[in-house]
Structure 1
Amino acid sequence: MKIKNIFTKENFLNAVKSVGKIRPKTSHTSILTIIALTMILIIAFAIRLFPMRWEIDPTTGKSNLLLSEFDPYFQYRFTEYIVKNGFIAWAWPNPWNDTQRWYPQGFNVAKGAFPGLPMTAAFLYKIFSVLGVGIDLMSFCALFPAVMGMLACLAMYFLGKDIGGTPVGLFAALFLAIHPSYIQRTSLGFFDDETVGILSLIVFAFLFLRAIEEDRPLNSTVKYALASGAFLGYFCASWGAAFYPIGLTALFVFVLLVMKRYTRRLLLAYSITFGLGLFIAINVPYLTPNYLTSTAVVAVAGVFSLLVLAEILNAMPTRRWKAITVIVFLALVVTVFAVAWQMGFVRGLTGKFLSVVNPFTRAESPLFESVAEHRISAWGTIYYDLGIGIIFSVAGLFFACGNLDNKNLFLLVFGLTSLYFACSMVRLLVLMAPSYSLLVGVGVTGLLRPFYTLLREPPKLGVKRKFGLERVGKEFSGAAIFMIFLILMTSIAFPMPRVYRQVYAPTTISSGSLSLVPDRPVQEWIDMLYWTRTRLNATTVVCSWWDYGYWLTALGNVTTLADNATVNGTQIQNIGFIFMANETQAIKMLKRYNVEYILVYTTIKTDGSWAGAGGDEGKWIWMAAISGKDRERFISQGLISESDMWTSDLEKIRQTFGNLTLGTNWHDSNNNGYYDSGDSISSNLRGQNTVLFKLMRYAVERWLQEQGKLTSLSIRIEPYFEEAYIAGLTNAQGYYGYVPLVALYKVNYPSES
């Protein structure tokens, strides 16, 4: 056969047609689903990159990505250590004791931090480096949360699809993508545990629900149970909130037992999931085998015992033997638990976890109360976060109750428990995001389904009757669908303060930690950290309030006394004492730590008055309350007299140091309960004699002097302190009228005679 007979026009066209036949057959519904899901993922990723606007230098066009908030800088430092030294170098053979933190004892990272997020980021960064992607670690960590947020939306689609079908999956993914609290915790630079924690929670729920499905082969159940156990273990290694999925699953299985839905597959899936998950957890150096003795994990063992009991009862031939078995079992469980509790083998909830379950215990800890995200969520806060979507989430609860299969039962337990914890603590609003998104998806789909069904019905001809029900027309269904769509749009498109504001804001350090969105990047903190990094040694001890510890260590490369880990309450009390005492009292405590520099941060208006926009002028009351909690210790150690030492009572603190602000009293002339222009103010000499007031006020007067508004300084900080560097002195304009000042002072100790 000649070649020209092979390569003919007819043969070529037939070949092209054959290629077209081998393409996969995809329905229009599947194509639309893929397009919708892709758009949701793009929205989820893009909206989380909005803070990048403030990370781009307008003069050069180059980006300098930084992390947001405070904790992410520790996660970055941990990740950097792993990248440089190896994946297990932080724990073995010589555990990493970070001596630049919590001086002088340092911080044992292996015993004090979750390794899940840093190890994940370091592993992925290594892969990108091998592939030749040129990106620095800081930029990689800044982008990491946005990617995890997008992947969580993808996982949410599959979980929602399993619970209520494709529409539920799409709506759930969409609402998770635009959930304000979740956006805040996964936006550019928020490199913290929640980024992988929420993703792990969603994937874990998806896998566990598949593992307990009765219509799956046994080997499929085992595979899904192993996978869910692996993700549970990863969650435990990544975030302290792992008690939530552990308790949630145990409660869900307990409810299944109460509703007489026990199956052997449930016992198998539960055993494998928690067996593997807890095995991984106890091998995390921070958790250790003691993790098994916590109350939440003991509850898992209790539910497992009930599952075993249910299996035994199924094999019992008579009711008599079943009753005897139950009585013996309950007596045995109560005895074992009581003995274990008395001997100290079972640990109750303490600290942060107890305060979540019982929010009223927080009043006992000023340190815990001083953190804004640890406070109880007001209903207004919850509505502000969820918006009008609350209506659809309530509808979702209704539809889930109407079809109470195992998956909808899990959704109910998930939704109600996460609502409780979200109300208990502002920070845990993010924990409610997945369940809320699922409930909204179920609610919207349930409301739309009957109207959509009516629209698809063919038109029917009929005779109008004088009496009887008339058929609802398609125009009514169309109007109902349009109204639901309109309500959804008011929840998504218009509430700029809820969604748009969460992302269209700079990272915390790029905003100078100001409590407002500036019109341009704030340089003061960045300048200060550059100064310490280039002028001071890594071993130089700097005292500041604990809020700034991570910044000073990770970016400023100096040694600090405390940071946001708050692992040593006594040391934080000592720092509070340093700032609220006078110089002669504070210098004794500074000497204990060999502090070389002390740093304060204040915000002022352009007239020189306090702005209260995120500086220490708004944090002083907590410095006093936290240090006042241990009043007797400071007195007994001879640091201060009993008459001079304050208490932890907030009202008494205001009376002592200033009821308007530090160093200033106001008198309610109008008896209206709040300060206004008609009230008189006076100086509070006790407040003005504190170390904090003098160091802040000195920085303010130096700024006024630089602007030509003041000729001489009224504040004297000698002989114990001297100005080292004040960032912001040349900033005359400020940011919308607010000027941040970061002031660093050298400590001079009196000569010992």
Structure 2
Amino acid sequence: MLLKERLVNGLKAFGRLRIQTGHASIICYSTLLLILFIAFTIRVLPIRWEIPTGDVRLNEFDPYYQFSLTNKMVRDGLLSPYLENGGQGWINYQQWYPDGLDMSKSLPALPMTAAILYSIISWLGVNVDLMTFCSIFPVIFGTLSCLIIYFVGKDIGGKAIGLFAALFLALAPSFLQRTALGFFDTEVLGIVGLLAFILIFLRAIDEHRSLRSSLIYSVGAGAALAYFIGAWGAAYFLVDLAVLFVFVLILLKRYSQRLLFSYSLTFGLAFFIATNIPYISIGYLTSGAVIPVAGVFLLLCLLEVLRHNISARTKVMLTSATLVTVVGGFVALWQLGYMENIAGKFISVLDPFVRSASPLIESVAEHRIAAWGNIYFELGLGILFFLAGLYFTLRNPTNRNVFLLLFGATSLYFAASMVRLLVIFAPAFCLLAATGIIGILKPFYTLLREAPQIAVKSKRRIVRVSKEYSGAVLFLVFMLLVANFAFAPQNGGVPRVYRQAYSPLTVSAASLPIGGENLPEPAQEWLDMLSWTRNNLQTTTVVCAWWDYGYWLSVLGNVTSLADNATVNSTQIENIGFIFMTSEDKAMTMLEKYDAEYILIFTTLSLAQSSDGNYYVVQPVGFGDEGKWSWMARISGQARDRFVQEGLLSAEAAWTDETDFGEYSNTTGRFEWNDAGRSSTIYKLLGYAKQRWADVSGIDYGVVPDEAGVEPTYFKQAFFAGLDLKPAEASAKYGGLIPIVALYEIDWASYYAAID
């Protein structure tokens, strides 16, 4: 009996340890888990195109740069990219030949985090290759961001705002794109760090928390900010946003010792850690974006001194001295040149038209100004709730709401300035839209929960909105959300989730803008080309191609490339543009400088029926180099004076942009090349690849090219991926598009024989 009593008492004591949760909490956390499941699932679904190939690759181009760093850290140690060559750093000579790419000038947080986590799961016995792990990495951290924003929203206005914010972020187009399968780039950790800092810093300055709690949160905020600085170059935005927020609090007369304490500890710890991160030196503290941190710190110190009983004269002297120190220090650092580089980067975002002077920057789609269509695609009908959120936060200007307003206003401006920065605006939009929805629904929801009113005769009776109207408002908001996320009118009626789930990785789609039913299986053309170079060429073989394909060639193709998306050497990109836009003879002169053995182009074709219906005409579409050559002309055209001075071109033969090679004809609806255009290397390489496809796969279908191709003099067919793609097969697999990846071997023997 004694043993039985002890057992019963033990079970009762254990039962008292259970977590006390009500129905509301169960519903809340169940909803949150469902949102996280949705966020994870829609990001991982593109894996359906990777399974048939047996490998999971990365998406787009830049992730391969981060993969190279991660692979190096896994093989040789976390600090190996920064300590090789006697501390000079790792130079990757497979990229940007002959100088190579200095990989030590890279932010370390993303590759280090991935390398550490990969080592842990490998130690636990999980057998997965590194590229597959890096491909799934953004899916996991994108889902984590949705979890963190829930807590940010909860602190701002309750669990409901947190849930809506998490749902909106899970489905936000720009954020979804950059945290989907394979997008292993800096934004993945950047948004995690941004949201973590916002959550912790706003708790650190909360007057309702104990000093011990503020101390812990300030340390956490400093660590989160340091991690963010080491993860993403956009950390300057968050640093200045926090400084602007504290400055606005000062203007609103909300200074407190807690604010000074938390601000000082957060930024002091963050910069102490950040300046000890590889690649980030002490010079970071004198950059133009960081100097305001010191200025606001001095203002906080001044306000703390002014709180004490000192004479008016002393107050004036201290205030004047502080202002002179801040302004004088700013001017001195500017004159000494510490702020020029960073100022230039910020000016290019503040004034986007500054970027238009550089064709190289403008050739990158994500660096262009966001059109209204981009912004509407991002917001959809949610813009109504976003505007409502601005109204409700203005009505209740708490510290958190002030921060949210500043976050929303600044990130919206930067997003409008540059398409890529829409990903920073996404969290702000989600929080404000969630605030707007709850602000709209709260009074109607409260009315629905009220007990029925007993009718009382009165001369003065307040007219109340009936519960039927409240229900109608709730239903209307629900329908707007359904229309925005399920039907997405800004996306042609196709749900965003459906679009993302049916968007393959770029290399698995052969760089074609297709997916879903138009791509029932992975496109093999680029995969075949990269497999061929990997198996048939040496690592040191130099392949000349436009910079878009550099990462694919060096990482997946295992050959040496001349340029890639790092765009660290604009002169070399100008030279590559020169190779493609000049004649073969002059192109060979430049290729000789780079020891190039092969040259690669990518073209996309389609079939059109002739006017008499007797045959088909194969013509370029514009998704390959036939759509990029105009940028080659503009970028190389910037260096026309240099080419003339170096004796590569005569002044008469030099060009400025694509108009020197022909003009667009409204009659034919296509670009009409002139003599200079027809003698260019790119014209011959594209034309011959098109002619070869017509000869090999189109001959049985009566296919002829729109313009006959001529075999180049010094470039011989090495391997053309896509030549065996029949028209019927292209229609069934690629929606009628025909991708050709053409690799030419450079015939140096013929060239040297011709010039002797």
Bucket of the pairwise TM-score, normalised by the shorter protein: over 0.9
Deviation of residue 380 (structure 1)?
Answer: 2.0
Conserved? CA contact 2:260–2:300, under 8 Å: yes
Deviation of residue 659 (structure 1)?
Answer: 2.3
Q: Does 1:41 align with 2:32?
A: no
Corresponding position of 1:567: 568
Corresponding position of 1:378: 371
Conserved? CA contact 1:142–1:190, under 8 Å: yes
Q: Secondary structure at the match of 1:619?
A: helix
In 1, the alpha carbon distance for the partners of 2:233 and 2:16 equals 53
> What amino acid is the match of 1:291?
Y
In 1, the alpha carbon distance for the partners of 2:318 and 2:387 equals 42
Corresponding position of 1:672: none
Q: In 2 relative to 1, CA 423–681 (structure 1 residues): closer, same or farther, beyond 3 Å?
A: closer
Q: How does 1:530-549 map to 2 (within 5 A)?
A: 530-549=531-550
Conserved? CA contact 1:71–1:192, under 8 Å: yes
Q: Does 1:67 align with 2:58?
A: yes
In 1, the alpha carbon distance for the partners of 2:555 and 2:672 equals 41
Conserved? CA contact 2:717–2:744, under 8 Å: yes
Q: In 2 relative to 1, CA 156–147 (structure 1 residues): closer, same or farther, beyond 3 Å?
A: same
Conserved? CA contact 2:684–2:712, under 8 Å: no
1:329 counterpart (312, 315, 322): 322
Q: Secondary structure at the match of 2:744?
A: strand
Q: How does 1:572-611 map to 2 (within 5 A)?
A: 572-606=573-607, 607=616, 609-611=618-620
Give CA deviations for 1:387-427 in whole Å, capped at 9, x if unaligned: 11111111111111111110000000000001001100111
In 2, the alpha carbon distance for the partners of 1:682 and 1:355 equals 35
> Bigger CA drift: 373-382 or 492-501?
492-501
> Bigger CA drift: 698-707 or 308-317?
308-317
Q: In 2 relative to 1, CA 249–711 (structure 1 residues): closer, same or farther, beyond 3 Å?
A: closer
Q: Secondary structure at the match of 2:630?
A: helix
In 2, the alpha carbon distance for the partners of 1:408 and 1:271 equals 22
1:221 counterpart (184, 206, 214): 214
Corresponding position of 1:91: 82
Gaps of 5+ in 2: 489-493, 608-615
In 1, the alpha carbon distance for the partners of 2:276 and 2:711 equals 52
2:203 counterpart (195, 198, 210): 210
TM (normalized to structure 1)? 0.92
Conserved? CA contact 1:698–1:716, under 8 Å: yes
Give CA deviations for 1:498-555 in whole Å, capped at 9, x if unaligned: 4432342000111111123342311100000000000001100111000000000110
Conserved? CA contact 2:144–2:192, under 8 Å: yes
Deviation of residue 305 (structure 1)?
Answer: 1.7
In 2, the alpha carbon distance for the partners of 1:183 and 1:35 equals 22
In 1, the alpha carbon distance for the partners of 2:14 and 2:315 equals 67
> What amino acid is the match of 1:626?
I
Corresponding position of 2:654: 645
Q: Does 1:739 align with 2:719?
A: no
TM (normalized to structure 2)? 0.92
In 1, the alpha carbon distance for the partners of 2:704 and 2:194 equals 60
> What amino acid is the match of 1:309?
L
Corresponding position of 1:658: 662
Q: Does 1:697 align with 2:691?
A: no
In 2, the alpha carbon distance for the partners of 1:598 and 1:352 equals 34
In 2, the alpha carbon distance for the partners of 1:557 and 1:86 equals 22
Corresponding position of 1:119: 112
Q: How does 1:441-480 map to 2 (within 5 A)?
A: 441-465=434-458, 468-480=461-473
Q: Does 1:504 align with 2:513?
A: no
Give CA deviations for 1:676-731 in whole Å, capped at 9, x if unaligned: 5xxx9855232121101111111111111102257999544443111110000001
> Bigger CA drift: 450-459 or 412-421?
450-459
Give the alignment's Cα RMSD to 1 decimal: 2.1
Give CA deviations for 1:439-480 in whole Å, capped at 9, x if unaligned: 011111111111111112111202355664322222222222
Conserved? CA contact 2:141–2:189, under 8 Å: yes
Q: In 2 relative to 1, CA 419–718 (structure 1 residues): closer, same or farther, beyond 3 Å?
A: closer
Q: Does 1:360 align with 2:339?
A: no
In 2, the alpha carbon distance for the partners of 1:110 and 1:498 equals 38
> What amino acid is the match of 1:305?
L
Deviation of residue 234 (structure 1)?
Answer: 1.1
Corresponding position of 2:611: none
2:425 counterpart (429, 432, 439): 432
Corresponding position of 1:100: 94
Q: In 2 relative to 1, CA 461–516 (structure 1 residues): closer, same or farther, beyond 3 Å?
A: same
Give CA deviations for 1:10-45 in whole Å, capped at 9, x if unaligned: 998888777555422211111111101100100000
> What amino acid is the match of 1:349?
I
2:628 counterpart (619, 623, 631): 619
In 2, the alpha carbon distance for the partners of 1:133 and 1:626 equals 47
Gaps of 5+ in 1: 661-665, 670-674
Corresponding position of 2:491: none
Q: How does 1:232-271 map to 2 (within 5 A)?
A: 232-271=225-264
Conserved? CA contact 2:43–2:500, under 8 Å: no
Give CA deviations for 1:151-197 in whole Å, capped at 9, x if unaligned: 00000011111111111111111110111111000011111111110
> What amino acid is the match of 1:460?
Q
Corresponding position of 1:142: 135
> Bigger CA drift: 387-396 or 324-333?
324-333
Q: In 2 relative to 1, CA 524–421 (structure 1 residues): closer, same or farther, beyond 3 Å?
A: same
Aligned residue-pair number: 724
Q: How does 1:378-417 map to 2 (within 5 A)?
A: 378-417=371-410
Conserved? CA contact 1:179–1:499, under 8 Å: no
Corresponding position of 2:162: 169
Q: Does 1:727 align with 2:721?
A: yes
In 1, the alpha carbon distance for the partners of 2:16 and 2:112 equals 46
> Bigger CA drift: 304-313 or 546-555?
304-313
Conserved? CA contact 1:611–1:738, under 8 Å: no
Corresponding position of 2:21: 26
Q: In 2 relative to 1, CA 710–476 (structure 1 residues): closer, same or farther, beyond 3 Å?
A: closer
> What amino acid is the match of 2:723?
L
Q: Does 1:685 align with 2:694?
A: no
Give CA deviations for 1:235-266 in whole Å, capped at 9, x if unaligned: 11111111110111011111111111111111
> Bigger CA drift: 741-750 or 470-479?
470-479
In 1, the alpha carbon distance for the partners of 2:309 and 2:617 equals 82
Deviation of residue 558 (structure 1)?
Answer: 0.5
Q: In 2 relative to 1, CA 494–464 (structure 1 residues): closer, same or farther, beyond 3 Å?
A: farther
Conserved? CA contact 1:184–1:503, under 8 Å: no
In 2, the alpha carbon distance for the partners of 1:571 and 1:255 equals 46
Deviation of residue 273 (structure 1)?
Answer: 1.5
In 2, the alpha carbon distance for the partners of 1:141 and 1:728 equals 29
Q: In 2 relative to 1, CA 20–325 (structure 1 residues): closer, same or farther, beyond 3 Å?
A: closer
Q: Secondary structure at the match of 2:742?
A: strand
Corresponding position of 1:513: 511
Q: In 2 relative to 1, CA 275–377 (structure 1 residues): closer, same or farther, beyond 3 Å?
A: same
